[in-house]
Amino acid sequence: MMIDNYRVRLGQNDRFMEGGKVILGGYQKANLDTMILCYQVVAGAPNGVYLFLIPMSSLKEMDSAQANQKALADAVGAEALGRITKGEGDVFQTMESTLYAVSPEMSYLTKEDEDADPAFWRPNSTAARPAAKDEKADKK
């Protein structure tokens, strides 16, 4: 999972929202199949913190990042994207991206959630492993 942490400067929330609408419209117009969850932090962090969570099934998804950025730029338009990029220093105090790995052994889920993907959430369980081959049948 990639987590992008953006801290918006005081008084710049409207510009952040405007830019976000342009980018979201670009994702939709380019038909990019990327799930991004956005949370505004309202307690426990400085004002203006937004977290963007991008789940990935593997790091291989990052291989298409450059092509996705080009498709987004084409969909938004060079002029609009240039305005957003140029204004980043005025709008954001900090921007940070962090990559996390989800560990099934350290996670606590309901049985229902584990059952959605038992091979991932219970990797050492016999229920999650495919049936072993019969060695005697292989020798015949």
Q: What are the chain's domains?
A: 2-99 (3.30.70.100), 103-140 (no CATH)
Q: What is the pLDDT of residue 137?
A: 55
Angle made by CA atoms 13, 16, 19, in degrees to the nearest 5: 150
Full-model pTM: 0.75
Mean pLDDT, range 64-84, rounded to an integer: 88
The tens digit of pLDDT for each residue in 88-105 reads 889 999 999 999 998 888
Q: What is the pLDDT of residue 57?
A: 85
**C-alpha gyration radius of the chain:** 21
Where does 31-119 show beta strands of DSSP type E?
37-40, 49-54, 92-99
pLDDT greater than 90 at residue 34: no
Across the chain, mean pLDDT equals 87
